[in-house]
Structure formats: C-alpha cells, structure tokens
Amino acid sequence: MITRFTLLPGPYQRTNRSTTQIMLMLCAALVFVALFGIVYQFTTGMMNGVYGLLIIVVSLVATLLVDLLTAVITKQKDLKKFVITNYSYVTALIFALIVPASTNLWVVAVGAIFSTVIAKAVFGGFGRNIMNPAIAGRIFVGITFASFFTAATISTVTTGATFMADTNLSWNNITTMVGAEGFDWLKVLFGFYNGAIGETATIPILVACGVLSFFNVIDYRQPLFYLGTIALIALFIGLSNGYNAGEYVLLHLSMGGVMFGAVFMLTDPVTSSTTSTGRIISATLAGLLTMLIRTKANFAEGCMYSIALVNVFQPLIDSFITGNSRTNLSKNIIAVTACAVIAVGVGSLGGYYPDVAPVSSGDTTTTISTPSTPPADPFDKKVPSAAFTESVADGTVSITATIELYKGLISKVTYAGGIGSDLFTVNDAYTAKYITPLIGKTVAEATALDLFSAAALPTEDIVADATGTANCLYLAIKDGLSKAPELYGTGTSTTLNTWVYIDLDADGKIATVEIFNDKGIEGEYFPTIAAFNDKYVTPLTGLTPTEALALPAYLETTPETVSTGATHSGISLFNAIKDALGA
Amino acid sequence: MGILSSRRKLHIHSNKDWISPQVIDFLPNEAIKLLYFPLVSPRGTPAEQFVQVGDFVKIGTKLGVHKDWYVPFYSSVSGKVIAVEDRFHAGLQRAVKHLVIENDYKETYEAPLKTVSNLSSPAEIVDAIKEAGIVGQGGAGFPTFMKYGGVTGISDILINGVECEPYLMTDYNAVKEKTRLLVAGVELFLKASGARLARIAIKENKTELIATVEKALKGRPDIVVTRVPDEYPMGYERTLIQEVYKRDYNVLPKEVGIIVNNTQTAIAVAEVLLDGKFFTHHYFTVAGDGINRNKIFYLPNGVAVNEIIKVAGGYTSQDITLLAGGPMTSRGLGNDTFAVLPANGGLTILKRHEYQQVECLRCGTCSRYCPLSLYPVEIMKAGEGKNENRLRKLEASRCSECGICSYVCPSHVDVTESIKKAKLFLRIQDQKKANQGGK
C-alpha cells in the first residue's frame, strides 16, 4: 500500500462551526420571528395568512431559480453546493419578511430576483456584495413599485406598507402617534398590527437577538450600539420636546422595522466590518442616520436606508482601522466614544422642535381633545371622541373613536382601546353597519342618519360576545360626531388659501371658528391681523350661521382692509368664513 | 476591554485523552539500526563536520557544530559513520546532507562534558549549556544559552509546561518521569539569570501532574507551580506571559524581565550539567487517528520517522497527514523518511480530512481570537491584493502563525496560510529594498 501524504495547508484541527450552520441558525431565527407575523395575518383573515406564506414561498422560489441560473451561467461544477453555499435563501427569507404584507406577488418575485442578481451575484456572489442584498431589493421595489404594495386580492384590513405609513404617523409628534388611549403596547411589541411580516414582532426579535448572540451567529455589538444610539437620541428628543420620553423611546425602537434591521440586517457579516471597532462605529452612525431620516425627512423606513448607507461606507471606515487591537486600544476607544457622542449630539439636536408646543406627559387625553398642533394637511381634521367605558363580563371596555374629515366630509372612522382582540371580532359586521354608511357624508348628514339619531343604545346585537365593546364604540362614534365641525369653508385670495371649520353648539350657535392657511394654523396670521380678527371673527360666536351672514361686516363682497400688510390674509379668510356659513 | 480588543485565546479540544495510563516505550534495536544527523542547521546553514565516513563514534562524540549560533551536536549511539547522504529534512522541507551512523549496540560513552557545581558562576553555567548544545525543546529549537548570555534585570523565569498543541503529551511525560531533574534544572536557570522566582506553568486540568511537581517543590519558595487555563495558544510565550503576568512585550520576553524555557529544556540542562549525560535523547509523542497505536517514546536523536511509524503499527489509512509536531502549527510533510531532531517533540498523524471551504463571510471571528490582536482577515485581503502599505499598517509580519485564525474560521478559509504568504511577500519587498539601497 502506497501512503499518500496530504499537503493541504494547516492547521489540521479546526472548529466544528461552519458558515452553513451559522446561516441555518439565522434562518431558524427568521422563521421564529416570521411566525408571529403570520399568526397575526391569520387572525385578520384566513386569506391574509395564506397570502403572507405565499410571499415567503414566492421569494424563496424566485431566488432559488435565479441562483440555479447563475450557477449554470457561471459554469459551476457542483450546482447543489453552489446553491447551498451561496446562501441566497437567507436573502430571500429576509426580503420576504421586510416587504409589506400585501405586496403583489410578482413584485415580491422581482424584488427577490433584484436582491440576488443585481445586489449579490453581479458583485461576485456570497461574501462579495457591498450592500445588504435584501435591503437593496426592498429599496428597489419601494422606489419602483410602491403602488403595488397593496394587492387587490387582500381585504382592506391588511392595507399594506408599514404600520407607520399606514397610519400617517409623524415621528416628530408623539401626540398624533400614540393616539388618545395610547398604543396597546402588548399588541405592538408582539407584532399584532399591520406591517411587513417579519418586522413587527419586537419582543420575539429581541429574543432571537439574544439567542443568536449567545451562539455567536450575530455580533451583539451591532444591535447594542445601533439601538443604543437610537434610544439615546429618542430620549433626548423626547425630553427636549416634552414628550412622554419613555413611550417615545419605545416607539422608536419598536416601529418601522428598526429592531428587525438591527438584528438581522445590520449584523450581516458580509457587509459589516470585520473589526469590532469598525462595527461599533458603523452601527452608531446607522443609528444617527435612522433618527435623522425619521425626524428630518419624516420617513418611516429610515432604518433600511441608514443600513444601506453605512454598508457602502464600510470599506472607508475599515481603512482607518489598522495595527492591532491591543496597542491601538486607546485610539479605538477614543474613536468609538467620539463617534457615539457626536451621533447622539447631532441626532438629538436634529430632532429638537422648539416650535412644537410641549405636551405634558400623562395628560395625553386632555391634550388630544384640544389639538395644539396643525394636521399635516389642512383639509384633514381628526376629531377624537371622549372615551366611553362599559363593564363587560371579562373586564372593562374603554373605547375612543376618531372621526376624520377631509374637505368637510367624513373620510375615515378609527377606534382604539378595547380588550384583547375583541375589536377584531367586532370588525366586519359592525363596520358594515355603523361605520361604512358614514363615509363621504358631512357631519350634519351623518348625525341625521337613523342609526345615530336615536337617543338609546342600539338594541340589535350585531356582534355576539362583544356587546359591551359594540355599545362603547357606538357611543364613541356618536360623541365624535357631536364634536366634529359642522361647517367647513375654503377661501382664496390671489396669493393665499384659507380654510375654516366652524363648530356649532347644541343650540345651533357658533361655538368656535378654527382657521388654517397655507402657513399653518395661526401661522403668521394672528399677530398681523388682530384688527381683522376683532371685526370679522370674534363677533361670530354665539350667533347662528344665518345671523352671522346677516352681520353688516359680511354683507360686503370684499372685506375692509383693516390690517396693514395682511390684505390677502383678510380677503381669503373673509371668503372662507362666508363659504362655511353657506353664502 | 473585550468589546473592542481580541480575546487572544480559545479553548480547543486537546485530543489528549488517549494516553491513560501512560507508558513510556523504547524503540526496538532494529528501529535504531541507522541514525541520521543533518549537516545543516535548522535554518539551513551548512554545519562544520567533525567526523568523516569510516570513523567510529561513541555516545557523546561531537559530530559537528551548527554555525548560526554555536550549537554542537552529539552522536546518540555508538557505532560507525558509514555515509553522508541526501535525506529529507522536515524543517527545511527539502533534502539536505545527513551523516549516517550505523549502531553497534555497544552503548559506549565519551568522557562526560564539564559539569557544574553550587559554586559555579552564572557565566560558567551558560558556557556549559552552550557546549552541551542544548536547544529549546518547545519546538522552535532556539539555542538555550542565547537566552541567558549576559542578561541583566531578569526577575522571573517562566518554565513552560503548558503544551497547548493538541495530541502532544511529550512535556507531560517528561515532567512526570523526571520531576527531580526539572527542579534541579530550574535551579540552574535561576542561578544563571539572577532571577529570584521561577514559575512552572501547567494547565489547570492536569491536576495529577501539578500535584507531583508541587510535592517535589516542597520547601522551595523560589519555585512555584502556576496553573493556567486550558486554552490555545497558552503555551505561546506571549500569551503565557499575558496570562501569568498580565504584561505585554514587543519582541522578546526579556523586555519585561522574564525568560521563558520549556520544561524539557530544564530537564536536559540538569541531565547534562549535573548528571554528566549528553543531550542526545528525549521524549517523543506519536499520536492521531492516522496511526494504529498512539505512543510515547523515549528515543535517541537521529531516528528515522518511518522506523517509528513501523513500531507504532503503521498508518491506518492510505491518505495521511504527517506532522512533525502538533496539528495547529505544523505543516503537512510529503515524506516520512526524515530524522528526529532534538527539538522535535512528536508526530501527529491524521487521516486526510479536507474541510469544505466557502467564501469568507467577514464574520471577524479571527480578529476576536488572534493572540497578537491582529486583524487576520484584513491581512489576508490586503495580501491577496498585494497591498504592501496596508500589510505594513496591519503589522502582518508580527503574526506568529499559531493557526487560531484558520481554526476558528467557519468558512474554513486558510487564513494562516494566506498570512504566511503575505509575510513572505513583505520579506521579498524588504529584500528588494535592501538590494536597491546597496546599489
């Protein structure tokens, strides 16, 4: 027997750990996180759950097909090995978990293919891509196919996009974010709300983070410093703007896919630095970018863009890290500390809004009922009702309804509160009977509907087992309608648009006049137009609309110029009030 | 601050559980019929040859001197010089001239070398070590006298009995068999260096050995046993000093007042300088799944490895990785005819196993365990791009080639091999610059 001596390079004893093993553990964690999203989808409807699964399947199949194609084109000898060690299925899984849950399936396929081919294979396959492929794919479909994020086959419950986009929330204003009753944090933290399948379940993602870090599948430094930077910036923004800081921090950490990005995308080793220092610096910078995009660009998906940006800058950051980590330790500590201080400082300053009136914490309900900040669109007006509470068998139900008006017509009725998932069981039948008929009507028309003109609660038990909830909701909607403005008018002059909402009290007398113009509520208006206000607005209170129109001031076709330098404001407001009063 | 710097060590499976109970074997006569002594130093410099073909030699006959530093080498058997022939040399990876001595099995001895006594001065001890031709038994084979010649400011001697390479049990058995000589040798080191304290470092899981040594050290406050954790590369001077003294040095341990020696080196010094023997025999491990019987031998220098393999029952497979040392730092040899050198502590023989290599995923695990806190993957990439400037900035030439970066790599990339290439590239660049400077 001739002995053959191996001349393979050493060492000849090696760790049992393999990259495939790492990737499979990552996949297991992704599946665990996706479970929560899928289960939520099923709670909103059988079809929605199936659709969520279909997104994952389509993404995986499309990716595997192009992977095979890549293998054939690049003349790989071992197709199976190539597909397994190219790890595109991880990309496919991540991509499926970050697209809105109602995206058209062919858009999912296109995005997955873009991820694997353009963002990965073109650069030389696994280990050589410069940007996280799943993020690249998500940005691509986000820019190109955003209008296909809502598939026609899906019921309106899963409205798509992320939760943030769905509810028109603004990162700069906690009052519009948290809502009258606050979030149901339990639901939010476990992902029971609309959004991408994988991004919503904050607590399960954190659990996955812990397990993956323990087994060294991901580097704990990256989520720690990324989320830490975000939390600190959010804390300082919260404190400086007078929000409920704790809730504001929690909101930033649990919304917009930050947690998912921190654990599954920022930690992608291929696009990360190989050095601890480099990883911490880029994670900190990503945290800063996320917060700047959120507060300055007012964009829900700041997380995704920030990670893509630091991915691209990684080689530059790496080129500054030289020598060894022992003798350069103090240098690295200084670099990391400086980076963290600058990031938190810049981020906090960037999110400070001196114009926004402070909102005292713990007093959100009161503040909400008299909004002190303008809606983003002056045509939009949200009128929250008071909370209605009723004892039911398994506790107390408390519900707030919000009537949203658009150009004086009811555009949307939303509600918050309730216990457990009873609101979801209320949903379909109740919506059909009590909410859908309101849409598109004026407040006066809605109030006049038979449904709401009755003084007593509806005797019809529409929703079995949720009568208390249904009753609360009924009362809340009714209250919301009673608080909604009854009169709405627009007025223009050559350079300015003005809108008014006039609220009538129970006797049909004018109670308040709310004014918006192009510059926002009370923008530059009141200081210069005080004299106009005295003559044209203040006298309206206490009059019926007919009496108001009969005032001498409103008998003219144009108002008298009473305020120097504010002629156009005066004219447009005059027109708006006349419009609202029905002239 | 572990969050930013390397952990610098890692527990790896020691593969040493095969050797219980330990029995020391001797080679049968037929295995030591012919012995081979290379006529070049481990660095490749031709040696000065004192005997010619046809001469008769005894145990302890000075065969020649390696001239990089003054290191004489002695015959380990009595017999006749029958030839000078080309033979594979494991360290140099090529064939070099060897003296061939035929054993006459008479075991006649030369007159002993000059021994030392309690009254000897440090210089006399160092001279005696030099004349004995003792080289470090840790594997590198650095002449021992070089560490002691004219040193000042040495506070501690660190005796390295860690043996962190998997499979090898050479030091363990040498210390167990010759505890008394170990203590005597350490005493000589203390005297030669002027150090006040000697520490014998042994892995904490070798409790039996620690007990044996501590028993022998009773009543000696100047020599103590230091337990070190079972991690790799704990036996690397830098890691060991970091572990025991929490100190770092630039090039040599001398900078921080410490001299590090292997346990077997101390034993050899005591044997030659006190007992009047010659530096010709040592313990030798043969282990691994590629050999039929794992064994510890006590054998003479110059034995051909293929004879040892025969005694150990031959290979278990047709595809073998043969290593003159442990599996972490040694490189695979293409030939098993080479002779055992004084610094060879053993053979690791493994069945061929090819690790499935995939693309580097840049996980940075190598940077988190490098004992020198280097960034191995960055060095590898800079080396692939032949980026000399970046290689120098990354201190590539400091790498000790311990193999831990390749060990931890989940993609099974040959990181260490790439760094070796990068170091070679840097040496060539240095040479080019030196040549240009000379013109």
Chain B residue closest in CA terms to A271? B362
Q: Is A322 on the interface with B (CB under 8 A)?
A: yes
What proportions of chain A, in percent to the nearest 5, are helix, strand and coil?
55, 10, 35
* Higher pLDDT among residues A404 and A425, named by residue: A404
* Facing residue for B359 by CB, picked from A126, A280, A322: A126
The 10s digit of each residue's pLDDT in A252-284 is 888 878 999 999 999 999 999 999 999 999 999
Are the Cβ atoms of B363 and A269 closer than 8 angstroms? yes
DSSP β-bridge partners for residue B160: B201, B262
Chain A residue closest in CA terms to B291? A3
Where is B158: in which H helix or E strand? Answer: strand B156-160
pLDDT surpassing 50 at residue A154: no
The answer to which of A289-293, A432-436, B98-102, B179-183 has the lowest mean pLDDT is A432-436
* Facing residue for A10 by CB, picked from B327, B335, B354: B327
Please give the Cα distance from B226 to B210 (Å, whole number).
9
Instruction: Please state the length of chain B.
Output: 439
Are the Cβ atoms of B334 and A17 closer than 8 angstroms? no
Q: Residue A415 in 3-state DSSP? A: strand
* Token pair listed for B14: 């020691």
Are the Cβ atoms of A13 and B315 closer than 8 angstroms? no
Task: Give the pLDDT band of residue A564 (cuts 50, 70, 90).
Answer: low
The mean pLDDT value for B215-239 works out to 93
pLDDT of residue B222: 92
Residue with the two structure tokens 């949903």 = A427
pLDDT surpassing 70 at residue A394: no
The 10s digit of each residue's pLDDT in B69-125 is 899 999 999 999 999 999 999 988 899 999 999 999 999 999 888 888 878 899 999
* pTM (predicted TM-score): 0.75
Chain A residue closest in CA terms to B375? A324
pLDDT surpassing 90 at residue A221: yes
pLDDT of residue A461: 62
What is the 3-state secondary structure of A328-362? CHHHHHHHHHHHHHHHHHHHHHHCCCCCCCCCCCC
pLDDT of residue A434: 77
How close are the terminal C-alpha atoms of chain A, in Å? 110
Q: Is A323 on the interface with B (CB under 8 A)?
A: yes
pLDDT of residue A520: 52
Residues of chain B in contact with residue A324, where contact means CB-CB under 8 angstroms, are 6, 370, 372-375, 394-395, 398
* Higher pLDDT among residues A517 and A129, named by residue: A129
The answer to which of B2-6, B163-167, B360-364 has the lowest mean pLDDT is B2-6
The 10s digit of each residue's pLDDT in A506-519 is 777 887 787 776 65
Distance from CA of A220 to the nearest CA of B (A): 10
Residue of A318, A279, A227 lying closest to B363 (CA atoms): A279
Let me know: does A149 contact A334? Beta carbons within 8 Å.
Answer: no
Residues of chain B in contact with residue A22, where contact means CB-CB under 8 angstroms, are 361, 363, 410
* Higher pLDDT among residues A113 and A170, named by residue: A113
The answer to which of A240-254, B259-273, B276-290, B388-402 has the lowest mean pLDDT is A240-254
The mean pLDDT value for A556-569 works out to 68
pLDDT of residue A388: 66
CA dist B246 → B2, B199, B243, B355, B368 (Å): 14, 14, 6, 36, 18
pLDDT surpassing 90 at residue A312: yes
Q: What phi and psi, each to the nearest 5 degrees, are found at residue A436?
A: -55, -40
Q: Is A372 on the interface with B (CB under 8 A)?
A: no
pLDDT of residue A371: 36
Distance from CA of A515 to the nearest CA of B (A): 56
pLDDT of residue A536: 78
Task: Give the pLDDT band of residue A455 (cuts 50, 70, 90).
Answer: low
Residues of chain A in contact with residue B15, where contact means CB-CB under 8 angstroms, are 13
Task: Give the pLDDT band of residue A18 (cuts 50, 70, 90).
Answer: very high
Q: Is A455 on the interface with B (CB under 8 A)?
A: no
* Facing residue for A10 by CB, picked from B320, B330, B361: B330
* Facing residue for B5 by CB, picked from A19, A85, A326: A326
Task: Give the pLDDT band of residue A548 (cuts 50, 70, 90).
Answer: confident
- For A383-406, letters b (16+ CB in 10 Å) and e give bbbbbbebebeeeebbbbbbbbbe
pLDDT surpassing 70 at residue A128: yes
* Facing residue for B331 by CB, picked from A10, A81, A279: A10
Q: Residue B88 in 3-state DSSP? A: strand
Please give the Cα distance from B302 to B79 (Å, whole number).
13
pLDDT surpassing 90 at residue B59: yes
Q: Is A120 on the interface with B (CB under 8 A)?
A: no
pLDDT of residue A406: 75
The 10s digit of each residue's pLDDT in A31-49 is 999 998 899 888 888 888 8
The 10s digit of each residue's pLDDT in B350-362 is 999 988 899 999 9
Q: Which ranges of B222-343 would DSSP assign to H, the alpha helix?
A: 237-245, 263-273, 305-311
Are the Cβ atoms of B348 and A12 closer than 8 angstroms? yes
A:240-299 residues touching chain B, CB 8 A cutoff: 269-277, 279-280
* Facing residue for B248 by CB, picked from A20, A322, A326: A326
* Facing residue for B378 by CB, picked from A85, A274, A327: A274
Distance from CA of B329 to the nearest CA of A (A): 6
Q: Is A17 on the interface with B (CB under 8 A)?
A: yes
Chain A residue closest in CA terms to B409? A15
Distance from CA of A127 to the nearest CA of B (A): 5
A:40-99 residues touching chain B, CB 8 A cutoff: 81, 85
Let me know: does A458 contact A452? Beta carbons within 8 Å.
Answer: no
The C-alpha R_g of chain B, in whole angstroms, comes to 22
Chain B residue closest in CA terms to A225? B3
